Structure 1
């Protein structure tokens, strides 16, 4: 439903994705673009903590359809997919149509193994 709207903002989103390595990025979008695209239907235009890890959506079941559509749109574009590869990105959108893009620390396999080892050691100590 919002493909055309997201397509309009895609070049800016791609630039902000690249810049998100340094600091959180914000994109203020026009509410009329989304209201026109919805065709008058009541839609919740906000979502929180939509995570894409290495170009894959995390926690898909918790997100509203609007967020899932946004993620699917991003992952359909090959250039965006290349930008997302190897990164963990968090998106949030407010009801004021402000899109936040934040790059998260990517947990490495060794960090995960350390956590598991510490947990196992604590369990055996008891």
Structure 2
């Protein structure tokens, strides 16, 4: 397992992510990341920084083991108590595409399962 080279970069973004996560409860959110923040943390080369994380009740439901950027984002989210609380009882998809836009889509999980 490689060291968490993107963790500090993601922690810098936590206040913005927290705000957009809260807003995503009403409508999908997206904002542009600064690519140089990530390039200085580690070079992903051709593989790029694109990923999807799907979470249910704060737990990742897809395989992110192949993406250090995604793993470190999840690590940063888990370390923030406010965000951890917001992730409960919700399905959340966070993705970053080639244009370096982070998108957050939230759907609420029904209490009646």
TM-score by length of 1: 0.75
Shift of residue 80 of structure 1?
1.1
Structure 2: which 5+ residue stretches go unaligned? none
Secondary structure at the counterpart of residue 60 of structure 1: coil
TM-score, normalised relative to structure 2: 0.83
Q: CA RMSD in A?
A: 1.9
1:30: how far off? 0.7
Q: Name stretches of at least 5 consecutive residues in structure 1 with no aligned partner.
A: 111-126
1:97 equivalent among 87, 97, 100:
100
**Structure 2 counterpart of 1:7:** 11
Q: Separation in 2 of the partners of 1:32 and 1:95?
A: 14
Larger relative helix fraction = 1
- The runs of 4+ residues in structure 1 deviating greater than 6 Å are none
- Kept in 2, the 8 Å contact 1:21–1:103? The answer is yes
C-alpha displacement of 1:95: 1.8
1:32 counterpart = 2:36:
yes
Deviation at 1:108, TM superposition (A): 4.7
Higher relative contact order (CA 8 A, sep 6+): 2
1: distance between equivalents of 2:82 and 2:74? Answer: 14
- Confirm or deny that 1:87 pairs with 2:85: no
